[in-house]
Amino acid sequence: MKVNIVISQQTQANDQFVADLAACVARSKRVLVITGAGISCSGGIPDFRSSDGLYNLVKKKHPKTVIRGKELFDATLFRDENQTKCFYTFMAELKSLISTAQPTETHSFIRELQEKGQLMRCYTQNIDCLEERLDLPVVQLHGSMAKVKCTLCSSSYNFSSDYEQQFREGSPPPCPKCEHADSERVRLGKRTLATGTLRPDIVLYNEEHPNGETIGRLQASDLKKKPDFMIVMGTSLKIPALKKFIKQAARMVHSTRTGRVVFVNKTPATKEWDSVFDYEVIGDTDEWVKMTQEKLEDEQAMLTAKLTLSGPTRSRIVATRSSSSTANCSELIT
Ligand SMILES: [Zn+2]
């Protein structure tokens, strides 16, 4: 049976479930964490599709090009020159936002798990690198906005403010390495070769992950180590490869005696996840983190919760303190 916790509904039952879940956190030794865009919203990475969001800035700059939000993250956009320009402008605006964004309470919570030696691995779909500011090691499933790479030779460079400015104008800068190789050929009297351009080092839809094999090996090794708790946060669970991994990992977690899997998100998971998640917390991830930390510091609550957990029942929580400040968070890239 899955336990639903809606954070906005402050009932006694919900409170008990939050305490039970906090006890799960406290006793876990090998925690797998999977994160998506929802955990960065309160840190200043807003809804890409909201009226005052990045998407509108792109439309202002390229009024004649029709492109939908999702298309901005699809590799097929490079077939169209105008859409490509939109992509670069969008990436510049996103980069600028990232530079002023801050890690959230949820990021800090994962960092604490790591400090306590409980974190086995954190996989993130986010490209904002907010984890780096806390020295929290993560596996980036969709690449990173910290670097740009050449479309031809894959050389990698820091995503500098100069590059950001060139991207903003919609024009991809040429790759320095390709340019150098070409000028050498010209100097030697050879024919010129094509030179690549730079793009953010992120993985788009319909594109293979360049580190896909390494990530696959890491995931296989994590499964073998039998995680005993998994937290899936701030993601709308849309990417097939990640869905598969979460389901495999959940089976391993459930094969341990007291293993539990929790899903924390603003919107509930669909029915296909009913046998995967034991707890479903509906609400802001920061809110859940705060509630959990309160319980962890509450000795009495922890004592009762541990008693509850000794039973065989598996449950699902819906936690929601009505907090609407980040209600429009995007899950576009999750
Ligand atoms: Zn190159």
Give the pLDDT band (50/70/90) at residue 66.
confident
Give the pairing type, strands 156-158 and 143-150. antiparallel
Look at residue 325 in the predicted model and tell me its pLDDT.
37
Give the pLDDT band (50/70/90) at residue 310.
low
Task: Tell me the CA–centroid distance for residue 252 and ligand 1, in Å.
Answer: 42
Record the tokens describing residue 108, joined without a space: 């800090």
Distance CA(286)–CA(65), nearest Å, equals 37
Distance CA(289)–CA(215), nearest Å, equals 27
Q: Is the pLDDT of residue 100 over 60?
A: yes
**Residue 303, Cα to own-chain centre: how many angstroms?**
33
Task: Tell me the CA–centroid distance for residue 156 and ligand 1, in Å.
Answer: 9
Asked if residue 122 belongs to a known ligand binding site, the reply is no
Task: Tell me the CA–centroid distance for residue 147 and ligand 1, in Å.
Answer: 14
**Residue 232, Cα to own-chain centre: how many angstroms?**
10
3-state secondary structure of 201: strand
Look at residue 305 in the predicted model and tell me its pLDDT.
84
Q: Which residues contact 42 (CB under 8 A, 6 or more apart)?
A: 104, 105, 284, 286, 325, 326
Distance CA(62)–CA(48), nearest Å, equals 16
Q: Which residues contact 81 (CB under 8 A, 6 or more apart)?
A: none
Look at residue 105 in the predicted model and tell me its pLDDT.
98
Task: Tell me the CA–centroid distance for residue 155 and ligand 1, in Å.
Answer: 6
Please compute the mean of the pLDDT values over residues 36-48 and round it to a whole number.
85
Look at residue 332 in the predicted model and tell me its pLDDT.
33
Q: Is the pLDDT of residue 190 over 70?
A: yes
Q: Is the pLDDT of residue 195 over 70?
A: yes
3-state secondary structure of 6: strand
Look at residue 147 in the predicted model and tell me its pLDDT.
96
Distance CA(8)–CA(283), nearest Å, equals 7
Distance CA(205)–CA(212), nearest Å, equals 14
3-state secondary structure of 93: helix
Distance CA(137)–CA(82), nearest Å, equals 37
Percent over 90 (pLDDT), the chain: 62
| pLDDT, averaged across the chain | 87
Q: Is the pLDDT of residue 294 over 50?
A: yes
Give the pLDDT band (50/70/90) at residue 3.
confident
| pLDDT per position as a tens digit, 205-261 | 888 899 999 999 999 999 999 999 999 999 989 889 999 999 999 999 999 988 999
Q: Is the pLDDT of residue 306 over 50?
A: yes
Query: Which CA distances in Å does 241 have to 86, 126, 203, 222, 237?
Result: 28, 15, 13, 16, 10
Asked if residue 41 belongs to a known ligand binding site, the reply is no
Asked if residue 24 belongs to a known ligand binding site, the reply is no
**Structure-token match 């917390």, residue found:** 281
The residues annotated as belonging to the active site are 142
Give me the residue spans of the domains in the chain: 1-45+101-140+211-334
| pLDDT per position as a tens digit, 120-174 | 999 999 999 999 999 999 999 999 999 999 999 999 999 999 999 999 988 899 9
Look at residue 328 in the predicted model and tell me its pLDDT.
35
Q: Which residues contact 230 (CB under 8 A, 6 or more apart)?
A: 31, 32, 33, 34, 246, 249, 250, 253, 260, 261, 262
Task: Tell me the CA–centroid distance for residue 181 and ligand 1, in Å.
Answer: 9
Q: Is the pLDDT of residue 72 over 50?
A: yes
114 vs 78, which has greater pLDDT?
114
Look at residue 53 in the predicted model and tell me its pLDDT.
63
Helical spans, DSSP H, in the chain: 12-27, 54-61, 81-100, 105-115, 161-168, 176-187, 212-224, 240-255, 285-296, 299-309
Distance CA(237)–CA(219), nearest Å, equals 17
- Top CATH class of 1-45+101-140+211-334 equals alpha beta
Task: Tell me the CA–centroid distance for residue 66 and ligand 1, in Å.
Answer: 30
Look at residue 311 in the predicted model and tell me its pLDDT.
46
